């Protein structure tokens, strides 16, 4: 089965829906996902609706490092963390790379080239707004927004 590239609209909708799911888990059920990463999100083939998997399995894993902050970045970039780290010397992980480019005013390098080459004139603004949410999500835990705020912020991004 050949997979198609995700459009900007698809990626924004996936980010909003995942944030909604996490907000629900965190605030309505008091269940942290604990291991969110792109490989734990399944997409329904017909409508690309995301389905979260492996909820709270971090409680039984021996190394319980969470990766919630990386998902939004992977949606923007169109690559996984290992692809970035191996391609850029001195970068330890995707969040370091993202932070570095933002600090150097090179944020546009964070974005999937397929999304930047579209005729959608709103794409750069939408990508930048999504990146700003992602950057807040990789702040130290005490400064990071809660999932309700992330969901609300992503929901206000309009194509």
In a domain, 49, yes or no: yes
Q: Which residues pair with 52 in a beta bridge?
A: 41
In a domain, 2, yes or no: no
In a domain, 1, yes or no: no
Mean pLDDT of the chain: 79
Residue given tokens 């990789």 in the structure block: 138
**104 against 71, higher pLDDT:** 104
In a domain, 3, yes or no: no
The whole domain housing 101 covers 8-154
Whether residue 19 is predicted with pLDDT greater than 90 in this model: the reply is yes
User: For residue 89, what pLDDT is reported?
Assistant: 56
In a domain, 26, yes or no: yes
Of the candidates 27, 36, 80, 82, the one whose C-alpha atom is nearest the C-alpha of residue 57 is: 36
Number of domains in the chain: 1
Whole-model pTM: value is 0.75
Find the CATH number of the domain harbouring 103: 1.10.510.10
Whether residue 3 is predicted with pLDDT greater than 80 in this model: the reply is no
Q: What is the pLDDT of residues 26-79, one digit of tens each?
A: 888 877 767 778 888 889 888 889 988 877 655 544 443 344 445 555 665 666
Average pLDDT of 131-136? 92
Whether residue 157 is predicted with pLDDT greater than 50 in this model: the reply is yes
In a domain, 159, yes or no: no
């Amino acid at each position: 089965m050949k997979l198609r590239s995700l459009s900007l609209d698809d990626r924004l909708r996936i980010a909003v829906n995942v944030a909604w799911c996490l907000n629900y888990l965190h605030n309505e059920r008091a269940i942290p996902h604990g291991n969110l990463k792109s490989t734990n999100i399944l997409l329904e083939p017909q409508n690309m609706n995301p389905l979260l998997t492996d909820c709270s399995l971090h409680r039984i894993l021996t190394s319980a490092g969470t990766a919630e902050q990386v998902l939004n970045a992977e949606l923007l970039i169109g690559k996984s963390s290992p692809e970035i780290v191996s391609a850029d010397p001195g970068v330890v992980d995707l969040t370091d790379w993202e932070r570095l480019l933002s600090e150097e005013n090179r944020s546009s390098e964070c974005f999937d080239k397929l999304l930047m080459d579209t005729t959608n004139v709103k794409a750069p603004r939408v990508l930048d707004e999504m990146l700003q949410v992602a950057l807040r999500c990789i702040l130290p835990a005490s400064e990071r927004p809660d999932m309700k705020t992330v969901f609300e912020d992503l929901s206000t991004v309009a194509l």
